[in-house]
Amino acid sequence: MTEYLIRRLVQSAVVMFLITVLTFGLIHSAPGGPTKVFLSPGLSQQAAKVQAEHLGLDRPIPEQYLKWVGGLLRGDLGYTFKNHLPVGDILWPTVGHTMVLMGAAWLLSLLIAIPWGVYNSTKEYGWSDQTASFISYIGFAMPTFWFGILLQELFALKLDWLPLSDMWSLDKEGQIGDLLLHLVLPVSVLTLGFLAGYVKYARTSMLEVLQQDYIRTARAKGIHEVRVVYRHGLRNALIPIITIIGLDLPILVGGATLTENVFNWPGMGRLFVEMALAREYSVLMAITLVTAFMVILGNLIADLLYALVDPRVQLGRKGGSTA
Amino acid sequence: MNLTIRERQPEPAAEPGWKGGANISGLTVSRRPPGMWRNGASKFIRNPYAVAGLVVLVCFIILALLARVIAPYDPAAIDLLGANLPAGAGNHWLGTDELGRDILSRLLVSGQVSLLIGFSVAFASVLIGTMVGAVSGYFGGWIDVCFMRLVDVMNAVPLLFLNILILALFGSKFSYMIIVLALTSWMGVARLVRGTFLQLREMQYVEAARAIGVSNTGIIVRHLLRNSTVPIIVTATLMVGGAILSESALSYLGLGIQAPDTSWGVMLSNAQEFMLIDPLQALYPGLCILLVVLAVNFVGDGIRDALDPRKQTHPSRKGVGIWRRNSSKFEV
């Protein structure tokens, strides 16, 4: 276990290192190079040279890279060009806002998807199953932002039941009730997106489990069907679901970008687009790294959880039985 | 060596019942079993969703090809006096937008952009993914490790972020968009091809091919790739939809197609700005995206169901009934 953990940590560190190289390399291969990217436009040549020296842009590229990574390790994400604000001050609050939105949508979709998928697996090709597969087809094919715009038009403009956008109304910042009202529309959009996949996963993995011998044994012993499905079946079916959820974490972190932009939610995705249009590269680099870090961490946690839930999985034993 | 097996009888042209099969006592008996493709095609045709998807897709492709010809107005022509006309007003079937541009014409031209991007991105990323997956799965070793780390890296960064970052750095050109989307969506195909290759390269026929001196390239192209065509085709089809969605998302965010060019994503972001004045404007482009992507996905699923030999078909009750009735006829 410890050996496996160490190996995975090293692997994650390598991937993280490669991501810093990728991001740094991308910025430095932009047309005109970093000098054009990092320096304020409209400077005289003399001033540009001074600023480049001040920012260390005249140093060799490996040295610049090391300096940048060194800063990252100390938690220094750099400064914005426009107002010279620390990137962390802008970034961290938006991470929290994204987490609130995504967490709510994710929890809601799991709460709906798992029972629904389990029910569908017991009534294969029934009307509920057909509805779920219809929803998943639509969910995969529909542009989420379009659905968001339609919801805004219907519930915010036409019916005037819910707020149009933003996280809080102007005079009610910090009130939970107001936040919940603002959450309804974006969370519905995101939930539909998640549901499309999760119901299917839950159903498929449940169907697989229900064909196992131990389910037949349980039924043969005369255990009530509900108990067979929800206790003997569901517990085992959860294992593949957990893995898939772990693999889905990138979507969880980055997938709210469109929804956040539609509903003007002050999260990481909206910040990313805003900063991309304003060409604030230090913020873009920071967001890319932070999300990548969270994704790698999430995958690691999912792997460990997998081992915790399924005692048959023996991590670290090469070629061992992973069932 | 193969000659004895594959030798064909000369077609007896005079007899009518001999086209493709023998006519024995009124029943047509096929001379040889239908191949995978013909079998698949007949299964595909019997799948109503797949056929409907194909019909919708072909309609969209024809409309896109003829967009410039059948568009009633110039999609970029601004007419401030006729702005925000409702649907049907003054020969504008779907009305005009806030600058007086004809919405129907814009939809048609946007379709061109979306389909072009969808198909070329799918093609390019399947090409990249197949090459990476093939090399990685066939040779293994350090090449495999390198490529798989690269896949890990690409998968760890949310792809939308990566797309936005690259487009923001290098500028939003139409050609860049295709390249960027292709470069960020090949990983799935690579994994798939690699997985198939890992399985297939241990097969006996590969060993036999190597024994008679077929080169690595020959084995990859002629023996391994041919056996992984089905999953590749299916993924390629499903990728077209994904690429169309990505394009519309990037354009909606203002980083994709730039004015005066237009795409469904651009139209949606416009429509959101003016939704107080004309809420219906948001409906059409989104509906187009939904229809096209749905159609492509149905076609992809149809191909998978038709060509996958492991896929068990669930015959409908009606189908079983027909089969029973027909087979009872022959029993007599």
pLDDT given for residue B225 in this prediction: 86
Per-residue pLDDT of A77-107, as tens digits, reads 777 777 778 888 888 888 888 888 888 888 8
Q: What percentage of chain A has pLDDT greater than the value 90?
A: 1
Does A99 lie in the same domain as A68? no
pLDDT given for residue B116 in this prediction: 92
Mean pLDDT of all residues belonging to chain A: 80
pLDDT given for residue B7 in this prediction: 47
For residue B272, give how far its alpha carbon lies from the nearest alpha carbon of chain A (Å).
7
Any domain includes A248: yes
Q: What percentage of chain B has pLDDT greater than the value 90?
A: 20
Of residues B330 and A31, more confidently modeled: A31
Cα–Cα distance for residue pair B33/B44, rounded to 1 Å: 18
pLDDT given for residue B254 in this prediction: 85
Which chain A residues contact residue B164 at CB under 8 A? 257, 272-273, 276, 284
What chain A residue is nearest to B169 in terms of C-alpha separation?
A30
pLDDT given for residue B117 in this prediction: 92
* ipTM of this complex prediction, to 2 decimal places: 0.82
Q: How many domains is chain A partitioned into structurally?
A: 2
Domain of residue A101: give its range: 89-296
The answer on pLDDT for B11 being more than 50 is no
Contact B248 A250 (CB under 8 A): no
Amino acid found at A92: W
What chain A residue is nearest to B272 in terms of C-alpha separation?
A149
pLDDT given for residue B18 in this prediction: 44
Any domain includes A242: yes
- How many CB atoms neighbour CB B143 within 10 A? 14
Of residues B99 and A221, more confidently modeled: A221
Nearest to B67 by CA among B288, B332, B277: B288
Of residues B191 and A175, more confidently modeled: B191
Contact A19 B165 (CB under 8 A): no
Average pLDDT value for residue range A241-248: 73
The answer on pLDDT for B136 being more than 60 is yes
pLDDT given for residue B318 in this prediction: 66
- Whether B279 and chain A come into contact, CB under 8 Å, resolves to yes
Which chain B residues contact residue A258 at CB under 8 A? 160, 249, 252-253
- Whether B240 and chain A come into contact, CB under 8 Å, resolves to no
Contact B276 A157 (CB under 8 A): yes
Which chain A residues contact residue B282 at CB under 8 A? 146, 149-150, 153
Contact A295 B157 (CB under 8 A): yes
pLDDT given for residue A8 in this prediction: 84
The answer on pLDDT for A231 being more than 70 is yes
Which chain B residues contact residue A279 at CB under 8 A? 168
Contact A255 B158 (CB under 8 A): yes
Does A169 lie in the same domain as A132? yes
- Kindly give the interhelix angle for B103-139 and B264-273, rounded to the nearest 10 degrees: 130
Does A161 lie in the same domain as A54? no
Does A267 lie in the same domain as A173? yes
**CATH code for the domain in which residue A223 is found:** 1.10.3720.10
The B residues from 192 to 221 touching A (CB cutoff 8 Å) are: none
Residues sharing a CB contact under 8 Å with residue A155, sequence separation 6 or more, in sequence order: A161, A162, A185
Cα–Cα distance for residue pair B179/B289, rounded to 1 Å: 21
Does A161 lie in the same domain as A98? yes
Buried b (16+ CB within 10 A) or exposed e, A79-96: bbbeeeeebeebbeebbe
pLDDT given for residue A301 in this prediction: 80
Does A94 lie in the same domain as A151? yes
pLDDT band at B12 (very low <50, low <70, confident <90, very high): very low
Nearest to A14 by CA among B141, B188, B148, B131: B148
Does A169 lie in the same domain as A46? no
Does A95 lie in the same domain as A69? no
The answer on pLDDT for B16 being more than 60 is no
Contact B290 A138 (CB under 8 A): yes
The answer on pLDDT for B274 being more than 70 is yes
Q: Which of A106-115, A293-302, B320-329 has the highest mean pLDDT?
A: A106-115
Q: Which of A19, A146, A293 to mutate to test the interface with B (most CBs of B within 10 A)?
A: A146
Question: How far out from the chain centre does Cα B165 lie?
Answer: 26
Cα–Cα distance for residue pair A181/B245, rounded to 1 Å: 29
The B residues from 218 to 237 touching A (CB cutoff 8 Å) are: none
Any domain includes A15: no
pLDDT given for residue B56 in this prediction: 93
pLDDT given for residue A36 in this prediction: 59
Per-residue pLDDT of B217-261, as tens digits, reads 888 888 888 888 888 888 898 899 999 999 999 998 888 888 778
The answer on pLDDT for B33 being more than 90 is no
Chosen domain end from A41, A76, A111:
A76
Chosen domain end from A19, A43, A76:
A76
What chain B residue is nearest to A149 in terms of C-alpha separation?
B272
- Whether B160 and chain A come into contact, CB under 8 Å, resolves to yes
The answer on pLDDT for B120 being more than 70 is yes
Any domain includes A225: yes
- Whether B155 and chain A come into contact, CB under 8 Å, resolves to yes
Which chain A residues contact residue B272 at CB under 8 A? 149, 152, 262
Any domain includes A321: no
Does A93 lie in the same domain as A54? no
**CB-nearest partner of A15 from B149, B169, B255:** B149
Cα–Cα distance for residue pair A19/A13, rounded to 1 Å: 10
Does A36 lie in the same domain as A110? no
Contact A272 B285 (CB under 8 A): no
**CB-nearest partner of B293 from A125, A141, A254:** A141
pLDDT given for residue B3 in this prediction: 43
For residue B285, give how far its alpha carbon lies from the nearest alpha carbon of chain A (Å).
9
Which chain A residues contact residue B153 at CB under 8 A? 15, 18-19, 22
Residues B279/B262, Cβ–Cβ less than 8 Å? no
For residue A143, give how far its alpha carbon lies from the nearest alpha carbon of chain B (Å).
6
The answer on pLDDT for A247 being more than 70 is no
Any domain includes A2: no
Of residues A64 and B19, more confidently modeled: A64
DSSP string, A120-137: HHHSTTSHHHHHHHHHHH
For residue A217, give how far its alpha carbon lies from the nearest alpha carbon of chain B (Å).
26
Which chain A residues contact residue B169 at CB under 8 A? 26-27, 30, 37, 281
> Strand B21-24 to strand B27-30: parallel, antiparallel, or no bridges (unpaired)?
antiparallel
Per-residue pLDDT of A13-27, as tens digits, reads 888 888 888 888 887
The answer on pLDDT for A157 being more than 70 is yes
Cα–Cα distance for residue pair A195/A135, rounded to 1 Å: 8
Any domain includes A81: no
Which chain A residues contact residue B152 at CB under 8 A? 15
Of residues B130 and A40, more confidently modeled: B130
Any domain includes A233: yes
Does A59 lie in the same domain as A198? no
For residue B78, give how far its alpha carbon lies from the nearest alpha carbon of chain A (Å).
25
The answer on pLDDT for B126 being more than 70 is yes
What chain B residue is nearest to A269 in terms of C-alpha separation?
B161
Of residues A67 and B313, more confidently modeled: A67
Contact B168 A279 (CB under 8 A): yes
Does A70 lie in the same domain as A180? no
The answer on pLDDT for B2 being more than 80 is no
For residue B187, give how far its alpha carbon lies from the nearest alpha carbon of chain A (Å).
14
- Whether B257 and chain A come into contact, CB under 8 Å, resolves to no
Contact B157 A18 (CB under 8 A): no
The answer on pLDDT for B130 being more than 60 is yes
